[in-house]
C-alpha cells in the first residue's frame, strides 16, 4: 500500500483516481507547520503540493520512503529540485492543466491595463464620473513582447493576434520554424525590451530569470510601456518597477504574482497605474481540476513503476519521441544490466553509442535508462532521476555518441564499460517479432535474448568443451534452455552464452572454472 500525502488544497474531483486506487492510502493535511510536515512526510511514498507548501532540503531529508513529489501546477520554485534529484526522487508537475486558464487571465489583465478598467470601476462605485481620467489605449497594431514562449506564452500570442497585435517573442529554445507556426516574430531579449508597447513574462523562476526585468531593462524600454507578470513573482524587480512607474517610463503594470506572497501593504499598491490580482492565473474550476487530475495520474504511474512524462528533473520528452523510444526501453535497461555484470574491477567509464535509425532521434532518455540499469548492480536506490547524479558523485565518466554504421542492423545500441581492469562492449537491437536481442559481446557475434539466468563462459575452442560444461550443469540439476557459441578462429578463444532455468551457485561457478578449457565464467541475472 502506497501512502500519498497531500498538504495543499486540491480539487476533490481531480484526485478521485488517487482516492479510489486500491493500492493507495491518501492522507490530506493542509496548513501544516514545518515541524508537523517533517513528521507527516517521514513515511510518505509520494507528496503532492501546490504553491503553499515549501518542500525544502530538510523536508526531503526527513522523507525516508519518498519516491515522488507532485506539484499541482507549473512552477516548482517551492521545491528544492536538486535535493530531490540527489535522493533519486522524481519531481513532476502539471504543465498543461492551467495553460488556458493562465493565458486567459493574462489577456484579461492586458485589456484591463490598456483600458484602466479596475481603476474606473473603483471610481464609479465611489459615485464619480471622471471619463477624462481613464483614457486608455487600443491593442490594435500595438506590439506585444513575450519573454518565454512556452505553452502559456504561445496561447497568449494566439489571443493577441486575434486583436491584431504585432507579437515579438524571445525564448532561448525558440526556433524560426516554431515562431512562424505560432505566428510571432523571433527576436532577441533586447529587441523585445526595446520595441514593445506591452511586455509580458512567461518563464519559470530560476537563478537566471530572477529579476530578468531589472532597472537596466526598464531603462531600455519605450517611454509609456506597460508590463505584466502572471508567471512567477521575482521575474520582475518590484523595486525597479516602482521607480520606473514613478519616473513615467512605465505607464502601467498588471501583476498577478509577487516576490513575497501574500504581498501585504506593498509600495506598488500606492500607485494608481498598478492593477493586481491575488495569484489567480490558475484559479478556474477547470484548471484546478485539470492540474489535480494530471499530477494524480503521474504520481500513480511513478508509484506503480509505469511510464510517466512530466518530470521536471528529467529531460522533457515530447509525446511523439516518447512513443518512438518506448520499444527500446527494455533493451536499453537490459543492456546496461548485462554489460555491468560482465565487467571486472572498479567502474571508471560508461560509453553509450547508438547507430542506424536511432541517430535521428534524441536518445538521451535511453542513456538514462542504460545508466540506471548499469548502476543498479552496485546501488539499491538508483533510478532514472538519480542515475546521472550518482555516476558523477562516484567519478564515473559517462560518454554518449552517435555513429552512422550499424553493421547490417536497422539500429544498434552499444554499451561500453571501462574499469581499472578491462574493457567490455555489449551491443543490442530489436528484431521484428522477437523483441530485444544481444547481438555482440566484445568481438563475438551472438543472438541472445536478454532475460532470466545466463551464463557467459570464455573458453578455448576445443572438442568436448561444450559437452563437459553440459555434463557438469546436468550433474548439478541445472537445465540448459538455450545455448549460443561465438568464436573468431577455429581452436582459438570463444564464448558460450547459456540460458539456464535457475540461478547458478558460487560452488558451481568454481567447478566450471576448474575445467582446463575454461578461462572464466560469469553468472548474469536479468
Residue tagged active-site, from 50, 202, 232, 437: 232
Does 281 map to a domain? no
Contact call for residues 435 and 493 (beta carbons, < 8 A): no
> What is the crossing angle of helices 99-115 and 117-125, to 10°?
60
Among 451, 482, 509, where does a domain finish?
451
- Same domain flag for 265 and 371: no
pLDDT given at position 70: 96
Q: How many Cα neighbours within 13 Å face the side chain of 448?
A: 32
Q: Among candidates 356, 511, 498, which has minimal Cα distance to 441?
A: 498
Measured CA angle at 340 (ends 332, 450), to 5 deg = 50
Identify whether 377 is a catalytic site residue.
Answer: no
Does 24 map to a domain? yes
Question: How does pLDDT run across 314-361, given as a tens digit for each residue?
Answer: 765 666 777 788 889 899 999 999 999 998 887 889 999 999 889 888
- Same domain flag for 184 and 293: no
Q: Mind giving me the DSSP string for 92-105?
A: EE-TTTTHHHHHHH
Identify whether 261 is a catalytic site residue.
Answer: yes
Q: Among candidates 16, 17, 13, which has minimal Cα distance to 285?
A: 13
- Same domain flag for 127 and 267: yes
Residue tagged active-site, from 261, 306, 344, 360: 261
User: Is the bond into 262 cis (omega within 30 degrees of 0)?
Assistant: yes
Among 451, 478, 512, where does a domain finish?
451
pLDDT exceeds cutoff 80 at 389: no
Does 309 map to a domain? no
Contact call for residues 82 and 60 (beta carbons, < 8 A): no
Question: How does pLDDT run across 242-266, given as a tens digit for each residue?
Answer: 999 999 999 999 999 999 999 999 9
Does 412 map to a domain? yes
- Same domain flag for 186 and 213: yes
Question: How does pLDDT run across 39-98, given as a tens digit for each residue?
Answer: 999 999 999 999 899 999 999 999 999 999 999 987 788 999 889 988 889 999 887 888
- Same domain flag for 357 and 268: no
- Same domain flag for 441 and 456: no
Q: Which of these ranges, 274-278, 452-456, 462-466, has the smallest mean pLDDT?
A: 462-466
Q: In Å, what is the CA distance from 404 to each residue of 96, 159, 426?
A: 37, 44, 18
Among 417, 451, 485, where does a domain finish?
451
Does 6 map to a domain? yes
Does 236 map to a domain? yes
pLDDT exceeds cutoff 80 at 385: no
- Same domain flag for 233 and 247: yes
Question: How does pLDDT run across 163-206, given as a tens digit for each residue?
Answer: 999 999 998 767 787 899 999 999 999 999 999 999 999 988 87
Instruction: Tell me which H or E stretch contains 495.
Output: strand 493-500
User: Number of structural domains, the chain?
Assistant: 4
How far apart, in whole angstroms, are the C-alpha atoms of residue 252 and residue 116? 9
Residue tagged active-site, from 71, 159, 226, 279: 279
pLDDT given at position 315: 64
Q: Among candidates 450, 454, 417, which has minimal Cα distance to 333?
A: 450
Residue-range definition of the domain harbouring residue 18: 2-96+286-303
CATH no. for residue 77?
A: 3.40.50.720
- Same domain flag for 261 and 116: yes
How far apart, in whole angstroms, are the C-alpha atoms of residue 54 and residue 79? 6
Does 13 map to a domain? yes
Measured CA angle at 419 (ends 418, 423), to 5 deg = 45
Contact call for residues 63 and 57 (beta carbons, < 8 A): no
Does 308 map to a domain? no
Residue found by looking up cell 513575497 in the block? 260
- Same domain flag for 255 and 292: no
Cell numbers linked to 432: 521484428
Contact call for residues 268 and 238 (beta carbons, < 8 A): yes
How far apart, in whole angstroms, are the C-alpha atoms of residue 424 and residue 525? 17
Please report, in angstroms and rounded to a whole number, the separation of the first and last CA atoms in the chain: 26
pLDDT given at position 490: 86
Identify whether 105 is a catalytic site residue.
Answer: no
Q: Which backbone phi and psi does 371 adopt, to 5 degrees?
A: -65, -45
- Same domain flag for 193 and 254: yes
Instruction: Tell me which H or E stretch contains 366.
Output: helix 364-375
Q: In Å, what is the CA distance from 45 to each residue of 9, 57, 90, 302, 406?
A: 19, 16, 11, 10, 43
More confident residue, 521 or 362: 521
Question: 170 pairs with which residues across the strands?
Answer: 147
Question: How does pLDDT run across 490-518, given as a tens digit for each residue?
Answer: 888 999 999 999 999 989 999 999 999 99
510 C-beta neighbours (distance < 10 Å), count: 10
Instruction: Tell me which H or E stretch contains 294.
Output: helix 285-303
- Same domain flag for 241 and 153: yes
- Same domain flag for 224 and 107: yes
pLDDT given at position 380: 58
Contact call for residues 66 and 41 (beta carbons, < 8 A): yes
Amino acid at each position: 500500500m502506497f501512502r500519498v500525502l497531500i498538504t495543499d488544497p486540491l480539487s476533490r474531483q481531480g484526485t478521485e483516481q488517487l482516492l479510489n486506487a486500491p493500492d493507495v492510502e491518501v492522507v490530506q493535511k493542509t496548513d501544516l507547520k514545518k515541524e508537523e510536515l517533517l513528521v507527516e512526510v517521514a513515511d510518505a511514498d509520494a507528496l503532492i503540493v501546490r504553491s503553499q507548501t515549501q518542500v525544502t532540503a530538510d523536508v526531503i531529508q526527513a522523507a525516508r520512503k519518498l519516491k515522488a513529489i507532485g506539484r499541482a501546477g507549473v512552477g516548482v520554485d517551492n521545491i528544492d529540485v536538486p535535493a530531490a534529484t540527489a535522493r533519486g526522487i522524481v519531481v513532476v508537475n502539471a504543465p498543461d492543466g492551467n495553460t488556458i486558464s493562465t493565458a486567459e487571465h493574462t489577456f484579461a489583465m492586458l485589456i484591463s491595463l490598456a483600458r484602466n478598467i479596475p481603476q474606473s470601476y473603483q471610481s464609479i462605485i465611489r459615485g464619480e464620473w471622471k471619463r477624462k481620467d481613464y483614457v486608455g489605449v487600443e491593442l490594435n497594431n500595438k506590439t506585444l513582447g513575450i519573454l518565454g514562449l512556452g505553452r502559456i506564452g504561445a496561447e497568449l500570442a494566439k489571443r493577441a493576434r486575434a486583436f491584431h497585435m504585432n507579437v515579438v517573442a524571445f525564448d532561448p529554445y525558440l526556433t524560426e520554424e516554431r515562431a512562424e507556426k505560432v505566428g510571432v516574430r523571433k527576436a532577441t531579449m533586447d529587441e523585445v525590451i526595446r520595441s514593445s508597447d506591452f511586455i509580458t513574462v512567461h518563464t519559470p523562476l530560476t537563478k537566471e530569470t530572477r529579476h530578468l526585468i531589472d532597472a537596466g531593462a526598464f531603462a531600455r524600454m519605450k517611454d509609456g510601456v506597460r508590463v505584466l507578470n502572471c508567471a512567477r513573482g521575482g521575474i520582475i524587480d518590484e523595486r525597479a518597477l516602482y521607480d520606473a512607474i514613478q519616473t513615467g517610463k512605465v505607464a502601467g503594470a498588471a501583476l498577478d504574482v509577487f516576490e513575497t506572497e501574500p504581498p501585504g501593504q506593498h509600495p506598488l499598491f500606492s500607485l494608481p497605474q498598478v492593477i493586481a490580482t491575488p495569484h489567480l492565473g490558475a484559479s478556474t474550476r477547470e484548471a484546478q481540476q485539470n492540474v489535480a487530475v494530471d499530477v494524480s495520474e503521474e504520481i500513480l504511474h511513478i508509484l506503480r513503476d509505469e511510464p510517466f512524462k512530466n518530470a521536471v528533473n528529467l529531460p522533457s520528452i515530447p509525446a511523439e519521441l516518447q512513443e518512438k523510444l518506448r520499444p527500446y526501453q527494455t533493451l536499453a535497461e537490459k543492456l546496461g544490466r548485462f554489460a555491468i555484470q560482465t565487467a571486472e574491477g572498479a567502474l571508471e567509464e560508461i560509453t553509450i553509442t547508438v547507430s542506424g535509425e536511432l541517430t535521428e532521434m534524441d536518445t538521451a532518455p535511453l542513456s538514462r535508462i542504460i545508466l540506471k540499469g548499469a548502476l543498479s548492480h552496485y546501488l539499491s536506490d538508483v533510478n532514472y532521476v538519480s542515475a546521472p547524479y550518482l555516476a558523477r558523485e562516484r567519478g564515473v565518466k559517462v560518454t554518449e555518441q552517435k555513429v552512422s554504421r550499424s553493421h547490417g542492423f536497422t539500429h544498434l545500441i552499444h554499451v561500453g564499460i571501462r574499469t581499472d581492469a578491462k574493457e567490455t562492449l555489449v551491443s543490442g537491437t530489436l528484431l521484428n517479432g522477437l523483441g530485444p536481442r544481444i547481438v555482440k559481446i566484445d568481438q563475438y557475434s551472438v543472438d541472445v535474448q536478454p532475460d532470466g539466468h545466463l551464463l557467459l563462459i570464455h573458453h578455448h575452442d576445443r572438442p568436448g568443451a561444450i559437452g563437459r560444461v553440459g555434463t557438469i550443469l546436468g550433474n548439478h540439476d541445472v537445465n540448459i534452455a538455450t545455448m549460443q557459441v561465438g568464436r573468431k578462429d577455429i581452436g582459438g578463444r570463444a564464448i558460450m552464452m547459456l540460458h539456464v532455468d535457475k540461478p547458478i551457485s558460487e560452488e558451481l561457478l568454481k567447478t566450471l572454472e576448474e575445467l582446463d578449457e575454461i578461462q572464466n565464467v560469469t553468472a548474469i541475472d536479468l
